[in-house]
Amino acid sequence: MRLSSVFTRVSAFAAAAVLSGVAARVAVATIESRSVIGVQEELLDYGHDWVTVIGDGLQVILEGQAPSEAERFRAISLSGRVVDASRVIDNMSVVASAGMIAPDFAIEILRNDSGVSLIGLVPASMDREALGKRIATLAADGVVSDLLETADYTAPDDWRPAVNYGLRALEMLPRSKISVAPGRVAITASSDSPEQKARLETLLAQQVPDLIDVALNITAPRPVVSPYITRFTIDSKGAHLDVCTADTQATVNRINEAAKEAGLATAPNCVLALGVPSKTWGTAVVESIKAVKGLGSATVTLSDADVTLTADETVSQEQFDAVVTELRGKLPDLFALEATLTKPKADTDEAAPEISLSLSEEGMVSVSGPLADDMSLVTAENYAKARFGADNVTLTTQIVEGLPSGWSVRALTGIEVLSFLSSGTVIVEPETVIVRGETGNSSASSEIASVLVDKLGQAQRFDIDVTYVEKLDPLAGLPTPEECVEQIKVLSVGRKITFDPGKATISADSLQLVDDIADILRLCLDLELEIAGYTDSQGREEMNLNLSQQRAESVLSALRQRRIPTSAFTAVGYGEADPIASNETEEGREANRRIEFRLIKDETAQEDAAPVEATEEDTQAATETAGQDTSNPDVVIGDENHPLSGKAPKTRPEKSE
């Protein structure tokens, strides 16, 4: 064989090998490119844009940070749908977990005459035993149904303040539903009367902790009104609704709209009450107001089913007759109309009789004017003294003949009207009653109008100008918790609660101070208050600690005996801790033997302290206190070292200066 022939064959084989290699590389590159593109498109279609796809021959490498382990597995599965799963190489990482998210803690508390039930999820750190004891005192003979579940997560910072506020509200509301969540408390409850409703709303509003949102809905039973009265007037001063009573909110809205169209500038304060004479009351009131608007200068009074319409002499007889005829036709059945057009007064030189009554800011009452006889005089004097106190009434009246009929009734009604005022005057004339003054009762004007209509008749004319002053309102004027403690501090200047030597019995000389403190606390209901006892450094430390605890509990027991609500009070003995003076002198030891009252804030903060000192004559004596109630009536949920947890804290809470 010739050499050229061999060389040709070898060259052919070499060329074929090179071509095969090139073809293989092209094929692999094509497969790799198509695989990467296919996998990338599949991942993008499903929102996995965080994955980077890299081709390495026939292998497909996935890189990137997966939001979660589930997302990582999902990316691998999607890639396996495009290429063989064995070709997918997982080179992904997972974003570090921020930790398990705490669940939504919440408590739903229901309280009624049958007992108390609790449903919800609370932190495992909550002191369930302490919670149970506190709820048990509220349930009395009722049943406590504890259906709470726990979760071992850290409670939010605003969880405990919300729980403590919810429990304080629960103590005040025997028929209530209270929903507690971190930073929020929703209260739905019923009260026994509108007065109790207003009082509860004021007290609960005063005690709302910082950063806690409260939704408060307290309902009260509607009062029963008899007679059922509404009175609307248009005179030289404009339109005014002197008294308004309605059976439903829809009726109130109708009356408001009609009064507004008739010229009333401000929204009337209608009372929702039971005792409506007819379901058509709203229609009767609306049509009567329209009649007054048509006359322009008139008064209409509805008392039960009786409607009295009076117009002054500026209204013509024709206009009056037309309006009266129209009103008779529009009044619903049952309602009877009496209409009167006032005639011009005859000129006379004789002065009209007048009774003048005044009430000073100090509570002194003066009554002057004519009365018909001795019996009327004695009756008026006794009635005024019964209303205002015998030492506060001065009468300068005289017996006059020829007084108008019913004059004695008008005088007594004037005295009753004066009792609605904090200060002011009442002028009683034959044709009208004029009332001026200030009051702490927001509904005084309406109540005065009701009394005048009820006692003097529906046609009675009156002029009421009474100003509501919030600071005179006994409910709005209730002191805040901080003000209560400050009052105790002021009260105790130069006075001390002392004890019998070596005992925890309050000395007789200190009982008056305890009575005075109780008087303040009666206006400061539902405080979270700590009564802290301290001793000097003489004697053994353990003995001093026990004696201070027993003396603090003696003060707590004394307040309870004076019918002060102490469910949120606690007595804590601190022994010889935190002296406020040197124990090297008798004066210093005397100062260190003391009782302090201070507010307990949420968590463990103790602020706004107001010390009330008590002398301890001998800390060396026996520590037994016969007959003293040493139970701790109050607990708080959470930290066992909290002053309300039923255990004495290891350190004294902070005080504000």
pLDDT digits (tens, 9 = 90+) for 38-73: 888 888 888 888 889 888 777 888 898 888 888 888
Q: Which residue has the higher pLDDT, 228 or 601?
A: 228
Q: Which tokens in the block code for residue 7?
A: 């060389």
Task: Inform me whether the pLDDT recorded for 265 exceeds 80.
Answer: yes
Q: Distance between CA 204 and CA 206 in Å, rounded?
A: 5
Architecture per CATH, domain 481-612, reads as 2-Layer Sandwich (3.30)
Write down the residue that tokens 């902070």 correspond to: 654
Using 50, 70 and 90 to split pLDDT, how confident is the model at 342?
confident
- Rounded CA Rg of the chain: 42
Write down the residue that tokens 């490498």 correspond to: 61
Task: Inform me whether the pLDDT recorded for 635 exceeds 50.
Answer: no
Region 124-142: mean pLDDT is 80
Backbone angles phi, psi at 178, to 5 degrees: -125, 120
Q: What confidence score (pLDDT) does residue 108 get?
A: 94
Backbone angles phi, psi at 170, to 5 degrees: -60, -35
Q: Supply the pTM of this predicted model.
A: 0.51
At residue 280, what is the residue type?
T
Q: Which residue has the higher pLDDT, 297 or 499?
A: 297
Q: Which residue has the higher pLDDT, 613 or 185?
A: 185
Q: Distance between CA 44 and CA 49 in Å, rounded?
A: 5
Kindly report the average pLDDT of the chain as a whole number: 81
Task: Inform me whether the pLDDT recorded for 475 exceeds 90.
Answer: no
Residue ranges in 492-613 assigned as alpha helix (H): 511-521, 541-561, 586-592
The size of the chain, in residues, is: 657
Region 381-394: mean pLDDT is 91
Q: Distance between CA 507 and CA 593 in Å, rounded?
A: 14
Write down the residue that tokens 């009265």 correspond to: 229
HEC per residue, 576-600: CCCCCCCCCCHHHHHHHCEEEEEEC
Q: Which residue has the higher pLDDT, 206 or 385?
A: 385
DSSP letters spanning 101-155: PPP--EEEEEEETTEEEEEEEEETTS-HHHHHHHHHHHHTTSEEEEEEEEE-SPP
Write down the residue that tokens 């930290």 correspond to: 639
Task: Inform me whether the pLDDT recorded for 517 exceeds 50.
Answer: yes
Q: Distance between CA 344 and CA 200 in Å, rounded?
A: 52
Q: Are 188 and 177 in contact, with CB atoms under 8 Å apart?
A: yes
Q: Is 138 left (phi over 0), alpha (psi -120 to 50) or beta?
A: alpha
Q: Which residues does 648 contact at the CB level (< 8 Å), separation at least 6? A: 549, 572, 573, 574
pLDDT digits (tens, 9 = 90+) for 80-97: 888 888 888 888 888 765
Task: Inform me whether the pLDDT recorded for 254 exceeds 60.
Answer: yes
Q: Which residues does 103 contact at the CB level (< 8 Å), separation at least 6? A: 121, 151, 153
Q: For a pLDDT cut of 70, what percent of the chain falls above it?
A: 83
Q: Do domains 106-219 and 355-472 have the same CATH topology?
A: yes
At residue 8, what is the residue type?
T
Domain ranges for the chain: 3-94, 106-219, 253-341, 355-472, 481-612
In 375-510 the beta strands, taken as DSSP E runs, fall at 393-399, 423-428, 432-439, 461-468
Q: What confidence score (pLDDT) does residue 97 get?
A: 57
Task: Inform me whether the pLDDT recorded for 370 exceeds 80.
Answer: yes
Using 50, 70 and 90 to split pLDDT, how confident is the model at 583?
confident
CATH number for 355-472: choose from 3.40.1520.20, 3.40.50.2300, 3.30.450.20, 3.90.1200.10: 3.40.1520.20
Q: Distance between CA 448 and CA 242 in Å, rounded?
A: 9
Region 123-144: mean pLDDT is 81
Q: Are 418 and 450 in contact, with CB atoms under 8 Å apart?
A: no
Of 18-22, 75-79, 380-384, 623-627, which one has max mean pLDDT? 380-384
Task: Inform me whether the pLDDT recorded for 420 exceeds 60.
Answer: yes
Task: Inform me whether the pLDDT recorded for 181 exceeds 60.
Answer: yes
Q: Which tokens in the block code for residue 582?
A: 């040197």
Using 50, 70 and 90 to split pLDDT, how confident is the model at 525?
low
How far from chain centre, in Å, is Cα 295? 46
Q: What confidence score (pLDDT) does residue 174 get?
A: 87
Q: Which tokens in the block code for residue 104?
A: 């939504």
Q: What confidence score (pLDDT) does residue 188 get?
A: 93
Q: What confidence score (pLDDT) does residue 632 get?
A: 32
How far from chain centre, in Å, is Cα 499? 39
Nearest in space to 130 (alpha carbons), one of 650, 651, 643, 652: 643
Q: Which tokens in the block code for residue 532?
A: 């802290």
Backbone angles phi, psi at 60, to 5 degrees: -120, 115
Q: Of 233-237, 301-305, 537-541, 563-567, which range is least confident? A: 563-567
Task: Inform me whether the pLDDT recorded for 101 exceeds 70.
Answer: no
Q: Are 57 and 28 in contact, with CB atoms under 8 Å apart?
A: yes
Task: Inform me whether the pLDDT recorded for 580 exceeds 60.
Answer: yes
Of 3-12, 203-212, 226-235, 461-470, which one has max mean pLDDT? 226-235
Q: Distance between CA 553 and CA 542 in Å, rounded?
A: 17
In 44-86 the beta strands, taken as DSSP E runs, fall at 52-56, 59-66
Q: Distance between CA 597 and CA 615 in Å, rounded?
A: 15
Region 620-625: mean pLDDT is 34
Architecture per CATH, domain 3-94, reads as 2-Layer Sandwich (3.30)
pLDDT digits (tens, 9 = 90+) for 138-160: 776 668 888 889 888 888 888 98
Region 1-15: mean pLDDT is 64
Using 50, 70 and 90 to split pLDDT, how confident is the model at 647?
very low
At residue 48, what is the residue type?
H
Q: Which residues does 236 contact at the CB level (< 8 Å), separation at least 6? A: 297
Using 50, 70 and 90 to split pLDDT, how confident is the model at 416?
very high
Q: Which residue has the higher pLDDT, 653 or 320?
A: 320
Q: Which residues does 535 contact at the CB level (< 8 Å), separation at least 6? A: 544, 547, 548, 575, 576, 592, 593, 616, 619
Q: Distance between CA 151 and CA 83 in Å, rounded?
A: 45
DSSP letters spanning 4-72: HHHHHHHHHHHHHHHHHHHHHHHHHHHHHHHHHHHHHHHHHHTT-TT-EEEEETTEEEEEEEESSHHHH
Q: Which tokens in the block code for residue 518?
A: 């109780």
Using 50, 70 and 90 to split pLDDT, how confident is the model at 636?
very low
How far from chain centre, in Å, is Cα 121? 25
Q: What confidence score (pLDDT) does residue 224 get?
A: 82
Q: Which residue has the higher pLDDT, 522 or 3?
A: 522
* DSSP structure class, residue 3: H
- Exposed/middle/buried for residue 33 (C-beta within 10 Å: 0-12, 13-18, 19+): exposed
Q: Indicate the CATH number for domain 106-219.
A: 3.40.1520.20
Q: Which residue has the higher pLDDT, 180 or 142?
A: 180
Q: Distance between CA 499 and CA 242 in Å, rounded?
A: 59
Task: Inform me whether the pLDDT recorded for 225 exceeds 90.
Answer: no
